[in-house]
A and B are shown apart, each in its own frame.
Chain A
Amino acid sequence: MKRTVPIILAIGSGAILAIVFFLNPDFKLLFGVTSDNIKQEVLKWVTIVSGFTLILGVVSIFRVNMKAFQQKKTDRWYKMVTIVSLLAMAIPGVFPGPATEIGKTLYTYLPDWIGVYGSQNGIIVSWLFDHLDAPMMATMFATLAFYIASAAYRAFRARTLEATLLLAAALIVMFWRVPMGEAVLNAMSPDLPEWINTILMRGVNASVQRGIIIGAALGAASMSLRIILGIERIYLGKT
């Protein structure tokens, strides 16, 4: 029950989606249901179940922070800040928007001002996202510019041929991608920026990306096959 049923579910759902790919979408399987119907239904199920995994994650964040606050751990007030921020965004966010079927019924009974909730036309969620979340996200990534530069200064030493190649490629791209650098390259030779793009980006970079994509895809496909055949069971945990 605890291990056999999940394995059967994983094998079954995986095999169905793998097999229906090879069938005619209009091929009728059982009770007039086509292979495409089954594929679409299973995909919808997976989307719904995956949605619950994210809810689980958010609830876990709430629980972990609340536990830390209750246990009076160091920085417990910061944990409370996380909880308050989470609720401030999540409560109006999960409230049914006016575009949803439930929302349409709900808004016939609720006063109009309730419309400020819900993310469809929501003021609260949009405001919090546009004026707090998005600027904070941009600033967080912007601060990484300093740390990347500092890490590069310490790590990028042309000690070996490989390190020199890395350093040279990075410097060329950074120089080429700023307007002043491109102007200098253009002054040296009008074809130079295009050559950098052709050889460095569309040549070497694209070929390595392609190699990595093919390798990773082969790995993902083989791992998928192991799961569908029931060989890979690590997702069940230890007990």
Chain B
Amino acid sequence: MSESLTLGSHLTIWIEAFVTLALFSFLYKDNPIYKFIEHVFAGLSAGYYAGLIGQSVIYPQLLDPLYSDFGGNWILLIPFGFGMMMLTRLTPIGPIPDLSWMSRWGLAITIGSTAGIFLISQLHGLVMPQTLDTFASFGRAGNTVEFAMAILTLVGVISTLVYFYFSKEHVGVIGRVAKVGIWFIMVAFGAQFGYTVMGRVSLLIGRMTFLIDKWIVGSMGSMFN
């Protein structure tokens, strides 16, 4: 495997190994190499999203339709105008005075439309199906275990909702239900924490596998053999 590596592949593997080790070096302490790579990472990520938006939104949804059929798509000049207004947030620049208030127009369209979508989607797409399924699980229960699970789910949902209900003081019955809610929430957060740790460890194993298999055995091995 390692015999067939080209010079370009060797270089790529060494660069990857360098950035990986540079980032891991922070585990010892903050250092200039880590800082350098950290800033490269920040810049590349920001640049990647700029390209992503250009290729997935600005060209296909705005510039291409305007370029290929301006007469049929002239209405797109309106969102283009609102988009440009967003960029007035960057003013004042040189001779251009402060026009940042204009960015509110584009922001208002975005916020308003998102609110319109959310108002329906949150209720229709999340609250209703999740609530319905909580009760429907009783109807689907085919044995005692499934029925017990349906009860457990109902108690968990209600107690969690009560715990996050802060418009009434958590005393008396509400306080006791909220206490049960905390127990449920703690178990769930613990389980999610466990999953998160496992995910991170998987990534760590992935990076270690790269360093050992590709860098040390693959690249270094073929260079020194």
- Give the interface of A toward B (CB within 8 A): 2-3, 5-7, 9-18, 21, 41-61, 63, 75, 78-79, 81-94, 96-97, 100-103, 105, 118-120, 125, 127-129, 131-133, 135-146, 148-149, 152, 161-163, 165-174, 177-178, 198-215, 217-218, 220-221, 223-225, 227-228, 235-237, 239
List 14 contacting pairs A-B, 8 Å CB cutoff, sorted by A.
A3-B104, A17-B113, A43-B117, A45-B78, A132-B16, A136-B37, A139-B23, A166-B193, A167-B190, A168-B190, A170-B191, A204-B187, A214-B130, A215-B160
Q: Which residue of A is nearest B185, CB measured?
A: A208
Which chain A residues lie closer than 8 Å to B20 at the CB level?
Answer: 135-136, 139
Residue from the list A7, A47, A52, A58 in contact with B86, Cβ < 8 A = A52
B217 at the interface (CB under 8 A from A): no
When A2-B104, A205-B191 are in contact, do A228 and B19 touch as well, CB less than 8 Å? no
User: Shortest 8 CB-CB distances between A and B: which pairs?
Assistant: A93-B51, A207-B156, A85-B43, A89-B47, A211-B160, A169-B190, A173-B194, A17-B116
Which of B26, B44, B122, B153 gathers most chain A CB within 10 Å? B44
- Give the interface of B toward A (CB within 8 A): 12, 15-16, 19-20, 23-24, 26-27, 35-37, 39-55, 57-64, 67-68, 75-76, 78-80, 82-84, 86-87, 89-90, 101, 103-120, 122-124, 126-127, 130-131, 133-134, 145, 149, 152-161, 164, 181-201, 203-204, 206-207, 210
Whole-angstrom distance between the alpha carbons of A119 and B55 in the complex?
7
Least Cβ distance of A149 to chain B in Å? Answer: 7
A203 pairs with B156, CB closer than 8 A: yes
B90 pairs with A204, CB closer than 8 A: no
Whole-angstrom distance between the alpha carbons of A125 and B104 in the complex?
33
B191 pairs with A93, CB closer than 8 A: no
Whole-angstrom distance between the alpha carbons of A168 and B187 in the complex?
8
Which chain B residues lie closer than 8 Å to A54 at the CB level?
Answer: 49-50, 53
